[in-house]
Amino acid sequence: MRYFTAMLIDAQANRCKSGLCFTAFCFSKEMKKVLSLYFGCHCCIAINAQDFSMIGKKNPVEVSGGLALNQIIYSAFNGPSRRDPYSYVASGNVNLSLYGWSVPLTFTVSNQGNSFQQPFNNYSLHPTYKAISAHAGYISCSYSPYSVSGHNFLGGAIDYEPEGKFRISALYGRFLRSLNLDSAQNILPVFERWGYGLKANYIHSAHSLQLVVFHAHDKARSIHFVPDSLNLHPQENLVVSLGASTVLLKKFVFKAEAASSAVTSNTSAEADSRSNIFSNVQPLYTLRASSDIYNAYKGNLDYQHQNFTVGLGYEHIDPGYRTFGAYFFNNDLENVTLNASTSLVDGKLSLATSIGKQQDNLDGTKVATLERTVGSLNVGFAPSEKLMLSVSYSTFQSFTNIRSQFQEINQLTPYENIDTLNFTQLSRSASANATYSFGRDEQRKQNVNFNLSAQGASEGQAGASQNSGSWFYNMNCGYSINLQPQAMVMSVSVNGSMNEGPGASKTIGPMASVSHSFFEKKLKTNFSVNYNQTQSGDAVPKNETINCRIGCVLNLKKKHNVNANIAVQARKNSATPGNTVCDMTAMVGYNYAFAWKK
């Protein structure tokens, strides 16, 4: 937990947040009981994308921001209240800019809390000049999926991307902050970790080559005392990744990456004389008895024809693969994928399909082995500009083989079949969509759409189906008309959903809405009402719900905005026909935006 805390303290990329939250007291004890003030000021010092080449070419000083004030009133009838009867939220933001150097500030005031917090402060600086970009502060870099991928650190980085064939990037910084042991606070020790990396790219026409080298190590003297019972030692990591892409015979596109990661769990262990790619890289890295080497590689080959595309992909990641340049890795997996797509009937008909298989337990050390198969099919047809049709289907099947722990204990000969547990999960989904647009002219547009989706899941064990299978159905059918001269949009629809299986339920109901603009679209109003009925299983009681919403927005001089909304909900259960529960929520808000340049 404390290891994660140390990462969290350093974990802010390209932005930062600092806050000051305190509870202000009211002027009397009675007021204290009614209202508590929660003031949160989030200060972000993130100087992003400073382009020095723009000095003298743009306004030196710019100030922009906004202010929002919202008040919410809530009331419940014939039922319990689900929120406070009155609440308010005030928020604002100010962005100060000097020759492109920006410092955004935000704050929030609300009566929804009375706690005190003091968040950490982070900062970052990202100046650019022509082909050079620099980064400093709390930042993150992503060089490749198997080496440096999004880990936040405190330090610096540089990217040099000229117009030629070469690109180069480098980084250096602290990836973990040290923490000393504190038994009273239950804080576990964490070594301070520093790392550096280099990425070099060569790009020529349709060919490219990329090399990534990343090294990180813990400082053994960064913490005072580590008990032997914790079995905690300073660690070291070296990653080498090589990627390439090319076009063969003008139609074959090949992309690949291979990476090796050496992780030393105890840098004080004796040196090892094993022969591998990390044997002769001293003083960059010393292979030790506590070192483990992991490999990961993937490749994709696509054939691109004028009318269709076919692709094959493969990925392999060793069990336990990790680097200090990323927080988390999916490891112990092997993926094989095949995909194809084509376009027919002058581009009006499109087809796309894919199938893939994934498995784990590559080294055979796990008790359970999981295999997954995924397939999908997508069809789109647009016979005219008015009509569009689409259908999709996908299936996901996983197979688990759990080997009994007593298989090797009780096995007398290598030919005995000890019982195992075979467990299969199958999920399928399908959807169909149809949209038809029509109207007399461009000023009277009408639209009819229909959507239907279904999802199913089932399980099987030893070839027999289980009772946990279920299907979910969702349906929507609607009509809308847009009267542009009147600035009015009206729509009606019917929505339904059904669940077959454990906890079966059905919900269906209509909906209608209308929006209208006045005074040259400065005042926008909207109204909607919907009714739905829900029934669980074959039970006679039914739940009925009616929702009504009305609102308006008034825009004044492009900077001021006043809005008001009222929502009323009524709920009734047929088992208690005389008891109708109602909730009303009203909100009034004001927004102001400003911008100043000099």
Question: Of residues 49 and 473, which shows the higher confidence score?
Answer: 473
Pick from 165-169, 220-224, 520-524 the range whose average pLDDT is largest: 165-169
* Distance, CA of 577 to chain centre: 44
Whether the CB-CB separation of 281 and 238 falls below 8 Å is answered with yes
pLDDT of residue 70 exceeding 90: yes
- DSSP strand pairing (45-51 vs 123-129): parallel
Please write the tens of the pLDDT for every residue from 310-347: 999 999 999 999 999 999 888 998 999 999 999 998 88
| Number of separate helices (H) and strands (E) present in the chain | 3, 30
Query: Tokens in use for 144?
Result: 């490749």
Instruction: Note the pLDDT of residue 49.
Output: 53
Instruction: Note the pLDDT of residue 42.
Output: 38
Q: Assign 136 a pLDDT band (cuts: 50, 70, 90).
A: very high
Q: Which amino acid is at 170?
A: A
pLDDT of residue 150 exceeding 50: yes
pLDDT of residue 44 exceeding 90: no
* Distance, CA of 72 to chain centre: 30
Q: How many whole angstroms separate alpha carbon 526 and alpha carbon 588?
A: 15
Query: Residue 231: CB partners within 8 Å, gap ≥ 6?
Result: none
Please write the tens of the pLDDT for every residue from 518-537: 988 899 999 999 999 988 87
pLDDT of residue 17 exceeding 50: no
Please write the tens of the pLDDT for every residue from 255-295: 999 999 999 999 999 988 777 788 788 888 988 999 999 99
Closest CA to 168 of 128, 133, 136, 195: 133
Q: Assign 460 a pLDDT band (cuts: 50, 70, 90).
A: low
Query: Tokens in use for 569?
Result: 């909900």
The per-residue DSSP string of 30-81 comes to HHHHH--EEEEEEE-EEEEEEEGGGTTTS-SEEEEEEEEEEEEEEEEESS--
Please write the tens of the pLDDT for every residue from 546-596: 999 999 999 998 899 999 999 999 988 877 767 788 999 999 999 999 988
Instruction: Say which DSSP state 229 is in.
Output: G
Q: Assign 415 a pLDDT band (cuts: 50, 70, 90).
A: very low
pLDDT of residue 509 exceeding 60: yes
Instruction: Note the pLDDT of residue 9.
Output: 36
Whether the CB-CB separation of 104 and 119 falls below 8 Å is answered with no
